[in-house]
Chain A
Amino acid sequence: MNILETNNVCKQYDGHTALDSVSLKVPQGIVFGLLGPNGAGKTTLIRIINQITAPDSGTVLFDGHPIGPDNISKIGYMPEERGLYKKMKVGEQAVYLAQLKGLTKADATRRLKEWFDKFEIGGWWNRKVEELSKGMQQKVQFITTVLHEPRLLIFDEPFSGFDPINANLLKQEILNLKDNGATIIFSTHNMASVEEICDHIALINKSRKVLDGTVGEIRQQFKLNIFELGYIGDFESVTNIIEQFVSIKENAKGAVNHVTGELKSGFDYNQLIQSVLSAGAQITQFSDVLPSMNDIFIKAVNQNVNTVFN
């Protein structure tokens, strides 16, 4: 079941195309990474999902129905450009933002108290936002985003401006939200965090979707047939055999010899392993080295892959 679908969404601004026929399917209950370089169109897409701007063409479905004002209370959004009213008291402000999401004042106050207790920030209630540190403000911002218990959460560059401790806390909270059944769309440049928490990603480049799939699938797609091999046996003879199948990148001699290499085209790992075994070596370790999301990101963007995976 997809909580959110976009079908051929297009958007033009002042003569330049921000989104060119972007279709996404976001399954329920996952963390969905929306990746792309600056200016690719991520924020435009997110604004369309939040109904801040309307697409020129294409449709957005929420729970299988065209998205509308009723869905606003089911979505929580933390934009990249975010902030709070500086002169307003923390508690008052959080209640106000929750009311705009459709919560009653009493409900908002009760839930806020719970969150404030959880984050141990109960003492901030009557302080003005401008008196808080940046990190404290980010915590308040996060609480106001999730307070109305939205089914779909959208974080645009959530870690920008967070110190490592708060970033970690945020990561933990995002995973908690997922465990509690929420779906999270997560736009970022931070590839390390993508590998850690995303189940599914889509990469947008130059206003088009260039990659889409689960993290595992995509890494398989981009695998370069690089492997690591550990064996016990005669270093010289095995090296000679291996060289027929692969270009060796690293070759280390030791109690256990280690080779890192890239398979030449026309061969597969089984052929390689059989030859090594027939030379009388004992294999202690063999692993396929998958590219990091960072490598995939750079590669996909540089190649400007035009194939659309579905």
Chain B
Amino acid sequence: MRKILTIIGREYLTRVKNKSFIIMSILGPLLFAGLMIAPSLIMNMNNTEVRIVQVVDSTHIFRGQLPETDYIKFVYMPDANLQKYKSQFSESGFYALLYISHQIVNSDNAVSLYSDKTINLDLRMHISNAIEKRLENEKLRSCGVDPGILSAVKTNININTIKMTDDGREESDNMTLKLVLSYLMGILIYIAIFLSGNAVMRGVIEEKTNRIVEVIVSSVRPAQLMAGKIIGVGLVTLTQFALWIVLTFSIYSAVAPMLMPDTAAIGVEMAQPLMSQGGSQLAQAQPTNDEMADELKAMLGTVGNINFGVIILSFIFFFLGGYLLYGSLFAAVGSMVDNEADTQQFILPLSAPLLLSIIVMTGTIANPDSPMIFWLSIIPFTAPVSMLTRIPYGVPYSEIFLSAALLIATFVVCTWLAGKIYRTGILMYGKKSTLKEIWRWIRQ
């Protein structure tokens, strides 16, 4: 036992002290924090600039009718001489030139937006929404519909998805958050298993090509060496994840308030009214914001209903189970070859189940309860990824336990087989092993 600890210690320390580990530990969180901060930062920067749009309206029905915001203003030109305004545009200081032609009633392409800069998506959406709404009203009015009726038919539908649980409670249910969680966990566990499995394999090949393995197996049993390596690398991966999570949130919480004081505050302000009474103030702003606000509200409502305890425990369990299963198989592959180039033929069939479960992940989102995904989340080779993508949508405990039990059983059998291949393979130098030989090693 003391020897296994010594081996684990070496595997762990040499990897953790390695430059690439340290660089990854710093770059990873910077990247993640950057990804978290950047979108709101960019939105913020755009919003603080007041953009004045020059409106050349040959129909004259939009004058003074386009809604303005704090950052988007309109200036209406007295005449419709497009050529004149276009030629003067660069000196005028306007952000953009909006031209509405006579054809607007008949043609979809009657509105043009000119600018010497790239037009933002939000500005375009804002204008297009405003014109559509105004035009609809105009058309209805021209058909003789009373303005009072117009305001009375104005509707806004927001669908609350509510999940009825087995014990009769109703929980608000939001697909977006679950989808994000599902994707994130699936990809994360796939990367974790694959990368650490590869690290184990490279470690085994290193010991073989360095020719140190025979020295070591004269001191410890091959099974001890293999177990020590797999556990050591697994701990490194867990350390890396822990560092990423802690550092990402440290960086985020340290930097976010400095870079975008408003957003942080807005986030809190938005959340409170949204939770209580439906975000009416924001809903007035404009239609797109309206939908976003509803989505956000639903997401925030769902957060409380997601069982993070189950998710975190499952993540740790299925990572460990999947990693031990694949790690031992990767170790066996490493023992069968003399250099990394020879591993390809074994790695492909070995990683096929993992790849399959990543491909099927998209299907999970469309229908988390389909039979295909159910079976993939039970079969041990695909379970680590597939089960985790299902878990945010809620999986009965019985299925989780069945999947977990099968995973443990398979990992025990596979480690045993891998150990047999490993102990013979590591002492075979200079020749590639055939499948027939490997079968003999297993039977020995």
Interface positions of B (Cβ within 8 A of A): 3, 6-7, 10, 14, 206-207, 210-212, 214-220, 427, 429, 437, 440
Contact = CB atoms under 8 A, between A and B. Distances in A.
Interface of chain A, main secondary structure: loop
A300 interface: no
Given A81-B429, A86-B210, A96-B6, A75 B14 contact: no
Contacts of A50: 218
Given A14-B440, A47-B427, A52-B427, A79 B210 contact: no
Contact of A99 (B6, B215, B427): B6
B210 A84 contact: yes
Contacts of A85: 14, 206-207, 210, 212
Contact of B218 (A79, A86, A87, A88): A79
Interface string A72-115: 10010111011111111000000011011100000000000000
Contact of B215 (A79, A87, A88): A79
Nearest to B430: A81
B14 A87 contact: yes
B218 A52 contact: yes
A257 B3 CA distance: 69
A79 B207 CA distance: 14
Contacts, number: 59
B7 to A, nearest CB: 8
Which of B7, B219, B437 has the most chain A CB atoms closer than 10 A to its own CB?
B219
Given A14-B440, A52-B427, A100-B6, A77 B215 contact: yes
B298 to A, nearest CB: 52
Interface residues of A, number: 26
23 contacts: A14-B440, A47-B214, A50-B218, A75-B218, A78-B215, A79-B211, A79-B214, A81-B214, A81-B429, A82-B215, A83-B210, A83-B215, A84-B212, A85-B207, A85-B212, A96-B10, A97-B216, A97-B219, A99-B6, A100-B3, A100-B7, A100-B220, A101-B219
B214 A100 contact: no
B6 A77 contact: no
A19 to B, nearest CB: 15
Interface of A: 14, 47, 50-53, 72, 75, 77-79, 81-88, 96-97, 99-101, 144-145
Contacts of A83: 210-212, 215
A169 B429 CA distance: 29
Contacts of B215: 77-79, 82-83, 97, 144-145
A88 B219 contact: no
Contacts of A144: 215
B68 to A, nearest CB: 64
Nearest to B10: A96
Contacts of B211: 79, 81-83
Which of A51, A77, A78, A100 has the most chain B CB atoms closer than 10 A to its own CB?
A100
B218 A72 contact: yes
Given A14-B437, A99-B6, A100-B3, A82 B218 contact: no
